[in-house]
Amino acid sequence: MTLLSINGVRRKFGDVTALDGVSLDIAEGEFFALLGPSGCGKTTLLRILAGFETLDEGTVTLAGDDLTKVPAHRRPINLMFQSYALFPHLSVAANIAYGLQREGLPKGVIKQRVDEVLERVGLAHAAKRRPQQLSGGQRQRVALARAIVKRPRLLLLDEPLSALDRKVRAEMQLWLKQLQHEVGITFVVVTHDQEEAMSMADRIAVLNHGAVEQIADPVTLYGSPATHFVADFIGANNFFSGTAVDDGLSTEVFGFLPARGGVTGPALLAVRPEQVSLTGDLLTGRVLDVSFYGGLSRVAVLVAGHDTPVLVHQHGAPRVAAGDAVKLGWAAEDAVVVRA
Amino acid sequence: MAMRRVPFFLTYVFLWIPILVVVGMSFNAGDSPFNWGGFSFRWYGELAADEEIRQGLVNTLIVATGSTALSTVLGTLLAVGLARHTRSKLLDAVATLPVILPDIVLAIGLLAFYALVQLTLGLYSVLLAHAVFGTAAVAAVVRTRLATTDPSLEEASRDLGANGFTTFWRITLPSLAPGVVAGALLAFTLSVDEFVIAFFTAGPQSPTLPIVIYSMVRFGVTPEINALATVLLAVTFTAILAAQRLTRLAGSR
C-alpha cells in the first residue's frame, strides 16, 4: 500500500533548480533510500517532506492526505537530523520526552514510553545524562529514540551514519535495519553514500540534478542500471562507447561487444569488474597493475584503443602478474547497454 | 628566563598600581588621602553614614537594575532577530556599535533627543539612556552565543510538535541562557560606573553615584572617596568574573 506519494515536485532557489519534477511512491513499512551526490536535491526533498521547505509545483500526499498545507509541527512525520540536534540543556530522557509532552500526554504515559524506547535503544542506564556526555553512536541512538517515540507514520533520516567512525557505522547499519523491522515504521534515508543505501534499503531512488534517474531495489540497481549516471555512481564499472545494436554494442575499435540491450542509438556498455574474466576472447591487453586485498585481487588491464585501464576483480590471490598478456571476456547477460 | 618576564611584570604593575594605591589608602586612619596615618576602617564607617552617597548609590542601583532588565530583553530579541531575519553584515555591526561609540557622542545625542521630544530629565532618562548601550552590549554577547548553537535545534523542536512560541521558550532561550546572563551582567557593570552619559541625562535632583563622587572630588579628595572606590571595585570585579565564567561555560559546550 502506498503511504507517501510525491508527484511532479519542482523547487527552484533563484536560478538554481533543486528539484525538477520528482515523482515517487513509498509503500507502508518500506525502508526507502534517496541516494545522490551533494546538490542532487535529496536534502531539499527531505526538508519538503519534514515541512521546513515549500515546493513551487507538484503534490505530496501521505496516506491520501495533502501534506503541503500541514505545518511542520503537525505532521505525523519525524526527522532524525544529520547533526542529531539533541537539546544540550536537557537530559537524554527529557530530550526523548519533549515530543510526547507536546502531544499533551499524561506524565505516567510519557514516562512509560520513554523508558520503553530507552530500553529498546539500549540506553536505559544513560537516561539522566546530558547529550554532551555521550559518544557519537549513543547520541545517534538518542536522536533515533526521540524520533520513533512519537510513533510517526514516516521517519526521515538525514545522512544517519555520516558522523560515525567506520566501526560504529557497520554496527549501526545492521541495528537500524533490525530496528525498522521491529517497530514497523516507514523509513526514508537520505544519503550520498551508496554503500549505506545499498546495504539497508529495500528500494532506492537515485537522484541527479534534481531528477530521479532510477528507482529500484539494490540488486536491480547494481545489475541493471538504467542510465549512465546510475551505472557510474553505484559500484565500479568499465565503460565502452559505441552504438547500440541487437544483443550488444557495436564499437569502432573492438567491433561487437555482447550485452543485454534495450536502448538504441549512441550508447555505453557497462560491465562490472567482477564479471570480467581473464580467460575470454573479446579484448586483448596487458596487465598494468595487480593489487591484493585479501579475499579479492584487483587487476588493471591496459587495452590498446581504450583510454582507461579495464578493471578486473578476481577472487582470492592474483593469478596473473604485471606485464602478462591477457584476453578479457564476459557473458552477454552480465553486461548492460545504457544510453550515452 | 627570569629576565624575559620582566616586561610582563612591569606591564602588570603599570596596570594595577593606581588601583592598589586606592585600595590601600582607603584603610588610612588619617585625614589626608595621600599620607599614611595607620590602618583603620574609619572611612568605611563615614561612607556608610553619608546621606548623599547613599542616595547616589540607590539611584545608581535603580538605573542599573532597570536598564539591565530592559536591555536584556531587547538585546536578546535583537540578537535573535539579527540571526534570523538578516544576512547583512553591516546591520549586524551597526547594531552593536553603541557599545564602542564614544560615550560623549551618545550623551550629546540623547540629550538632543530628549530636548526634541521635550522629556524632562530625571532618573528614568538615565535609565533609558543606559538601556541604549546596554541593549547593544547584550546583543553582542548573545550574538556570539547564537553563532555557536546548532541551527537545527529549533527545527528539531518544531519537528517534534512544538509551535513557534514553545520552541522559543523551551529551546531557543535555554540554549542562549549563558549568553543572556553574561550579557546582563555586562550591561549592569557598564551602567554602574557610567559617568558621561549619566551626567548629561540625569535630572538635578537625581544624581547617580559617579556624579556624586565627581561633585565631592571637586571640593578635594578625602579618603572616603578611596573607600567608596574600593567598594565599587569589589562590586564590578565580582560581576565581571561572573560574566567571564558564564561565557566560558557557554563556550565549552
Nearest to B153 among A50, A85, A102 (CB): A85
pLDDT of residue B249: 58
- 3-class DSSP state for residue B33? coil
Q: SS3 for A326?
A: strand
Q: Which residues pair with A244 in a beta bridge?
A: A249
Give me the DSSP letters along A13-49.
ETTEEEEEEEEEEEETT-EEEEE--TTSSHHHHHHHH
Write b or e for each residue in A170-202: b if 16 or more Cβ atoms lie within 10 A of its Cβ, otherwise e. eebbebbbebbeeeebbbbbbbbbbebbbbbbb
What's the longest Cα–Cα distance across chain B?
71
Q: Taking Cα atoms as reference points, which of A17, A145, A53, A33 lies closest to residue A92?
A: A145
Residue B248: predicted pLDDT: 64
Nearest by CB to B174, from A89, A99, A102: name it.
A89
Distance CA B250, CA B240 (A): 15
**Separation between Cα atoms, residue B103 and residue A304, nearest integer Å:** 80
Question: Can you tell me the mean pLDDT for A83-109?
Answer: 94
Among candidate residues A199, A189, A217, A185, the one with its CA nearest the CA of residue A28: A185
Q: Select the residue of A82, A88, A103 nearest B161 (Cβ to Cβ).
A: A103
Cβ within 8 Å of A, B 173-202: 174-175, 177
Using a 10 angstrom Cβ sphere, with 0-12 exposed, 13-18 middle and 19 or more buried, the burial of residue B65 is middle
CB contacts of B157 in chain A (<8 Å) are 87, 98
Per-residue pLDDT of A164-209, as tens digits, reads 788 888 888 888 888 888 888 999 999 999 988 998 999 999 999 9
| Lowest-confidence pick of A8-12, A124-128, B42-46 | B42-46
Q: Which of A72, A78, A81 sits opposite B152 (nearest CB)?
A: A81
What residues are paired with B196 via a beta bridge?
A: none
Cell of B214: 565627581
Which grid coordinates are listed for A120? 529498546
Measure B158 CA to nearest chain A CA, in Å: 5
How would residue A18 be classed by pLDDT, with cut points 50, 70 and 90?
Answer: very high
C-alpha to C-alpha distance for B238 and A140, rounded to whole angstroms? 41
| Cα distances (angstroms) measured from residue A44 to each of A130, A143, B64 | 31, 21, 48
* Residue A288: burial class (beta carbons within 10 Å; 0-12, 13-18, 19+): middle
Q: Does A89 touch chain B (CB under 8 A)?
A: yes
Cβ–Cβ below 8 Å for B159 and A98: no
Q: Which of the residues in chain B have pLDDT under 70?
A: 1, 247-253
Q: How far apart are CA A86 and CA A93, in angstroms?
A: 11
DSSP B39: B
Checking if the pLDDT of A149 tops 90, the result is yes
Distance CA A251, CA A51 (A): 50
Q: Whole-angstrom Cα distance, residue B102 to residue A6?
A: 59
**What residues contact B81, with CB distance under 8 A and at least 6 apart?**
none
Question: Which of B159, B163, B166, B172 to substitute to test the interface with A, most A CBs within 10 Å?
Answer: B159
> Alpha-carbon dihedral of residues A184, A186, A187, A190, nearest 10 degrees?
170
Beta-strand ranges (E) seen in B33-140 are none
Q: Look at A2-16, A89-103, A253-267 and tell me which has the smallest mean pLDDT.
A: A253-267
Measure in Å the smallest separation between the Cα of A305 and chain B Cα atoms: 52
pLDDT tens for residues B172-206?
Answer: 988 888 889 889 988 998 898 889 999 998 888 88
**What average pLDDT does chain A have?**
91
Residue A233 has pLDDT above 60, yes or no: yes
DSSP conformation letters of A81-95: -TT----TTS-HHHH
Domain boundaries, chain A: 2-223, 236-339
Contacts of A132 in chain B (CB under 8 A): 253
Pick the CATH number of A2-223 from 3.40.50.2000, 3.40.50.2300, 3.40.50.970, 3.40.50.300: 3.40.50.300
Q: Which CATH number describes the domain made up of B59-252?
A: 1.10.3720.10
Residue B66, amino acid: G
- For B152, the closest chain A residue by CA position comes to A85
Determine the straight-line distance between the first and last CA of chain B, rounded to whole angstroms. 37
CA B246 to chain centre: 16
Tell me the domain boundaries of chain B. 59-252
The predicted pLDDT at position A228 comes to 93
pLDDT at A146: 94
Cell 514516562 locates to A111
Cα separation, A51 vs A72, in Å, equals: 4
Chain B residues with CB under 8 Å of A72 CB are 155, 158-159
Contacts B171 to A, Cβ<8 Å: 87
Least Cα distance to A162 among A83, A87, A280, A249 occurs for A83
Contact B239, B189 (CB under 8 A): yes
Q: Where are the beta strands (DSSP E) in chain A?
A: 2-13, 16-27, 31-35, 57-62, 65-66, 77-80, 154-158, 186-191, 203-208, 211-216, 238-245, 248-251, 255-258, 266-271, 283-292, 296-302, 310-315, 325-328, 335-339
Q: Is A304 exposed, middle or buried (0-12, 13-18, 19+ CB in 10 A)?
A: exposed
Among A1-15, A295-309, B37-51, B120-134, which stretch is predicted with the lowest mean pLDDT? B37-51
| Adjacent-strand bridge partners of B28 | B39
Q: A65-66 and A77-80: which strand pairing? A: unpaired
| Nearest residue of A to residue B163, measured between CA atoms | A73
The verdict on a CB contact (< 8 Å) between B160 and A78 is yes
Q: Give ipTM to 2 decimals.
A: 0.83
Integer Rg of chain A from CA? 24
Cα A300 to Cα A313: distance, rounded to the nearest angstrom? 9
Number of Cβ within 10 Å of residue B147's Cβ equals 11
